Amino acid sequence: MKQSVKLIAGNWKMNGLAVNLGEAEALKQALEADPAACRVVLCPPATLIERMARLLGGGAVELGAQDCHASPSGAFTGSTSAGMLTDAGARLVILGHSERRAGFGETDADVAAKAETAVAAGLEPIICVGETLAQREAGEAVAVVSRQIAGSLPDSLAGRPFAVAYEPVWAIGTGRTPTLEEIEVVHRAIRLAIRARLGEAGDIAPILYGGSVKPDNAAEILAIPEVGGALVGGASLKAVDFLGIIRGV
Ligand code: PGA
């Protein structure tokens, strides 16, 4: 199956002030000196996107956001539209992260609507799926992520650049990861679910693994068949840690 270049994305979540821009600068400089063998993306909080865009200046590090509203504009106090994100300099957007599904009640239909709007605004969505610990222990991991894929990917993704991230909820920020075999099984199931949803037009989408990816486990995870990259939370906040993961490709 045709595979696109691997993609390593850092999700800063609700962390990052102006004082932390030096980490993005350090990452940029390190990759200028020794280019990465993959795409590298930073997804800072929305308040930092424009400043980071100036700092990264169209270099090797791409810029993403962490969420967008499903509507292109309107009376939605406190929300950020996809068009605002592109205007600020973002080119990708994480959608349906489990922290938004669980903490903000986002459904598969909500995620699909956001993806539709994001694509229309020219953003490349990174759509997250993943089972809870209870679902895994009940043997439902594959069924859950397959259902999430079926419901969260709009038709408009066919033939457009996008990625899927498999992030078991119980592995996020916990230091726990599935076994390499467990990751492979779910990634193969996600590939089939994408094919079922979009046909061959979805084959080029990389499937990222996310959840406690660190410099010391990155290389073995990135070597698994059908792992097309990583979505990294905590270890993306420091350039030295994030680089340790990027060098695992
Ligand atoms: P983590 O987070 O790397 O801190 O586990 C991953 C994520 O939520 O994307």
Question: Which CATH number goes with the domain that contains 116?
Answer: 3.20.20.70
Identify whether 234 is part of a domain.
Answer: yes
- Structural domain boundaries, residue 142: 7-246
Residues 84-111 have pLDDT tens digits of 999 999 999 999 999 999 999 999 999 9
Identify whether 30 is part of a domain.
Answer: yes
69 is catalytic: no
What residue ranges line ligand 1, CB within 6 angstroms?
Answer: 11, 167, 172-173, 210-213, 231-235
Give me the percent of the chain exceeding a pLDDT of 90.
98
Identify whether 150 is part of a domain.
Answer: yes
- Work out which ligand 1 atom sits closest to the CA atom of 212: 5
Identify whether 141 is part of a domain.
Answer: yes
Mean per-residue pLDDT, 226-239: 98
Identify whether 1 is part of a domain.
Answer: no
96-133: b (≥16 Cβ within 10 Å) or e: bbbbbbeeeebebebbbbbbbbbbebebbbbbbbbbbe
Residues 15-44 have pLDDT tens digits of 999 999 999 999 999 999 999 999 999 999
Identify whether 62 is part of a domain.
Answer: yes
Could you tell me if 202 and 195 are in contact, meaning their C-beta atoms sit under 8 angstroms apart?
yes
**Residue nearest atom 1 in ligand 1 by C-alpha distance:** 233
Domain count, the chain: 1
210 CA to middle of ligand 1, Å?
Answer: 6
**Residue nearest atom 9 in ligand 1 by C-alpha distance:** 233
97 is catalytic: yes
- Work out which ligand 1 atom sits closest to the CA atom of 236: 3
Identify whether 156 is part of a domain.
Answer: yes
Identify whether 2 is part of a domain.
Answer: no
Residue 3, pLDDT score? 56
Residue 117, pLDDT score? 98
